[in-house]
Structure 1
Amino acid sequence: MAVRPEGTPCWADAMFGDVEGAKRFYGEVLGWTFGEASSQYGNYTQAYADGKAVAAVVPPMPGQEGHSQWCLYLASQDAAATAARIRGNGGEVLLEPMRVGDFGTMCLAREPSGAVFGVWQAGRHEGFEATAVPGAYCWAEVFTREPEKADAFLTAVFGYTAKRIEDEAVDFRMFDVGGETVLGRMRMTEDFPPEVPPYINVYFTVADCDDAVARATRLGGLLRFGPTDSPFGRFAALGDPQGANFSVIDITTRRGEMPQVTDVS
């Protein structure tokens, strides 16, 4: 697999106080199977869709217990250089670049408006082995109350070009790398309770959105929005039983006209 361009989403993982509970939930909702926990790396456990690595779950490190949350990793060819750009553009490095054996180098950061994300410099672990197929990652959006801060940071650190969706109902931008749209940004409205911090919402592909929602809610998940149709697919926003937000989308069921976009780079 070729090295992903700088800023391309390349991996997702989440810490769970109850890892076995998370495995049961996501195994049923997304059809994941799981590898052996790696005791050398904090019992990090990879999830697979049809035999392809698509995400991972891990118990919290001491002192990190609390609200579960999915973390999206963006590709970097030099994690130390990316960390320097993060600092230089108003972001905060939460975990300095750290080698993870021969798998690669990771870094955790917070962009200026508050959303946490990861940086991954690939070694033996190059990231997602599959995307946009049932059970695999498909898309992600930065949800923020201060979009101007997030937009300026993302374009400066990762060299994205930006497009604005022409829709008075939403404040939404899309970021491109080499002509490919890789990430979205949504302004959080008053519909979001004030205690909900900015975050990156990760979308996982499913064969049937309504069926995935039914399984999730039956297992104790919360339906936060949808299911609803869009030009990109039928999707719904969910919370898992341990509080991690995510979305599911059936990209084969599309309704409506594609929105008009304007280049704002």
Structure 2
Amino acid sequence: MTAVQVRVAHGTPCWVSLMTHDVERAKAFYGPLLDWSFTPGPTELGAYVRASLHGARVAGIGLAPERPDLPAEWTTYFAVDSADSASARVRDCGGTVAVGPLENGRAGRLAIAADLSGAFFGLWEGRDHLGWEVVGEPGAPVWSELVTNDEPLAAAFYGSVFQRQVVHADPSAVARGEEDATLRVEGHRVAGLRQTTDLRDGPPRWRIYFAVGDAELTVRQCAALGGSVLVGPADTPYGRVARLADPEGGRFSVVELPVLGLSPA
């Protein structure tokens, strides 16, 4: 596997980061589960490490503020040409900018925002750090999907914030288990939006999928490492999927390769 840094197009997911109350515990879980190794990252915003898959950077893990009401959570970051301009559009569309925009050392400029339903996401204006260096390989991110109780409202919000097209799926495709809509960049599907009233996976949020070679094995490893199984494994139009949680409750999903049509690149 060759690590490649590529500046992805504005409006495209480019990075995922876990905020946790115990970085070492998270490393002990995700390292063996997804075959990650870790190196120090920027510390301007607190303790932070970058996870690598065979030398290619794929994700980050940072120390959350000491607030008992703040759960461990994964965040999807979207590449933007300007974190300041994108943050202004978030506010104009009725969303909230909770953090930033601010500098993250020489790596880039970021903001953390929430949409109208309260789902959090990140904005990343990369400089030295452009984002993940591999996707779609076992252990790497493969897809981000908004789970929301108001997909039409979310579609209008994200289409306006990123100034990109949102395409709604045919009802027959939704009935087969596909997303209700997809965010498109230059004609390519880059993220999904799914309408749901299923509360098993918590309130509206961006659900992150990591590719794995064997979903059943990953589920067993997750339990052995102190995590939990929320749903699955189950077959979907995109492969066999399980929804999991780490020992601190941080939620994520895995999808067994081969994955057809589920690429954020």
User: In the alignment, which of 217, 234, 238 is matched to residue 232 of structure 1?
Assistant: 238
CA contact (8 A) 1:17 1:66 kept: no
User: In the alignment, which of 62, 73, 80 is matched to residue 76 of structure 1?
Assistant: 80
Per-residue CA deviations over 1:9-46 (Å, capped at 9, x if unaligned) read 00111111111111111112111111136545412100
2:59 aligned residue: 55
User: In the alignment, which of 187, 205, 209 is matched to residue 215 of structure 2?
Assistant: 209
Q: How does 1:14-25 map to 2 (within 5 A)?
A: 14-25=18-29
CA distance in 1 between partners of 2:113 and 2:142 (Å)? 22
Deviation at 1:111, TM superposition (A): 0.6
Tell me whether 12-21 or 218-227 shows the greater mean CA deviation.
218-227
2:255 aligned residue: 249
1:160 aligned residue: 164
Partner SS, residue 28 of structure 1:
helix
Partner SS, residue 23 of structure 1:
helix
Tell me whether 25-34 or 61-70 shows the greater mean CA deviation.
61-70
Q: How does 1:100-179 map to 2 (within 5 A)?
A: 100-161=104-165, 162-167=167-172, 169=175, 172-179=180-187
Q: CA 1:250 to 1:165, structure 2 compared with 1: closer, same or farther past 3 Å?
A: farther
Partner SS, residue 236 of structure 2:
coil
CA contact (8 A) 1:159 1:177 kept: no
Q: CA 1:38 to 1:102, structure 2 compared with 1: closer, same or farther past 3 Å?
A: closer
CA distance in 1 between partners of 2:45 and 2:98 (Å)? 19
Partner SS, residue 35 of structure 1:
strand
Deviation at 1:136, TM superposition (A): 0.7
What TM-score, normalized by structure 1, do the two folds share? 0.89
Match of 2:51, as an amino acid?
A: A
Equivalent residue pairs, number: 253
CA distance in 1 between partners of 2:68 and 2:98 (Å)? 12
What is the root-mean-square deviation in Å for CA atoms of aligned residues? Answer: 2.0
2:193 aligned residue: 185
CA contact (8 A) 1:113 1:147 kept: no
Deviation at 1:83, TM superposition (A): 0.6
CA contact (8 A) 2:44 2:104 kept: no
Identify unmatched segments of 5+ residues in structure 2.
none
CA distance in 1 between partners of 2:117 and 2:163 (Å)? 18
CA distance in 1 between partners of 2:259 and 2:121 (Å)? 29
Per-residue CA deviations over 1:215-235 (Å, capped at 9, x if unaligned) read 001222221222122332221
CA contact (8 A) 2:42 2:105 kept: no
CA distance in 2 between partners of 1:253 and 1:197 (Å)? 27
Identify unmatched segments of 5+ residues in structure 1.
259-265
Partner SS, residue 169 of structure 2:
strand
CA distance in 1 between partners of 2:199 and 2:18 (Å)? 22
Deviation at 1:65, TM superposition (A): 6.4
Per-residue CA deviations over 1:198-254 (Å, capped at 9, x if unaligned) read 110000111111111110012222212221223322211111111111001122167
